[in-house]
């Protein structure tokens, strides 16, 4: 990979896949029954970016097919964690709003995971971890632009 060798990317993606597995498992251990990582990711997104966005925009943000987002939102609605309302600006579209229960759940999970992640961070070189995120973001953007 020093003179660009694609094999390095394989190994990188492999490592990323495993970390993804472990992160999911860790997350789901803290979530109430019937909720999985995508549910939490959506709640978190609604808080970080703000709610009132559309399903399609969220599907793009997470790079999943819109059918998957439909399914995830259905689960969240069933648990009263989000509300879905018509989109006043576009009759085809909808808007997604987090409920008070959703806000609460998200905060509880963050708190529970905070302790969990804190332990991880004690074993890690935090400085280096800080450095890799922008590199990953760059990688994500390049991958997204060239497909």
Asked if 76 and 82 count as a contact pair (C-beta separation under 8 A), the reply is: yes
The total of other beta-carbon atoms located within 10 Å of residue 98's CB is: 23
Binding mask 47-86 for DNA (x = CB under 7 A): -------xxxx-x----xxxxxxxxxx-x--------x--
32: Cα separation from own chain's centroid: 17
Tell me if 95 sits within 8 A of 77, measured CB to CB: no
Site string for DNA, 22-41 (x = CB under 7 A): --xx--------x-xxx---
3-state secondary structure of 94: strand
Asked whether position 2 contacts a copy of itself by CB under 8 A, the answer is: yes
Residue 102 found at the interface with DNA (CB under 7 A): no
CA angle 101, 104, 110 (to 5 degrees): 140
Binding residues for DNA (CB under 7 A): 21, 24-25, 34, 36-38, 54-57, 59, 64-73, 75, 84, 87, 90-94
Binding residues for a copy of itself (CB under 8 A): 1-2, 4, 6-23, 25-27, 37, 41, 44, 62-64, 110, 113-114, 116-126, 128-133, 135-140, 142-147
């Amino acid at each position: 990979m020093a003179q660009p060798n694609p094999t390095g990317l394989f190994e990188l993606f492999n490592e990323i896949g495993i970390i993804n597995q472990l992160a999911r498992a860790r997350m789901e251990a803290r979530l109430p029954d019937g909720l999985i990582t995508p549910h939490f990711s959506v709640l978190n997104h609604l808080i970080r970016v703000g709610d009132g966005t559309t399903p399609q925009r969220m599907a793009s943000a997470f790079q999943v097919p819109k059918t998957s987002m439909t399914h995830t939102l259905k689960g969240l609605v069933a648990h009263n964690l989000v509300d879905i309302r018509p989109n006043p600006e576009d009759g085809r579209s909808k808007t997604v709003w987090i409920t008070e229960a959703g806000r609460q759940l998200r905060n509880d999970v963050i708190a529970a995971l905070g302790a969990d992640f804190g332990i991880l961070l004690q074993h890690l070189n935090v400085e280096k971890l800080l450095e890799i995120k922008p590199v990953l973001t760059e990688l994500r953007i390049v991958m997204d632009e060239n497909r």
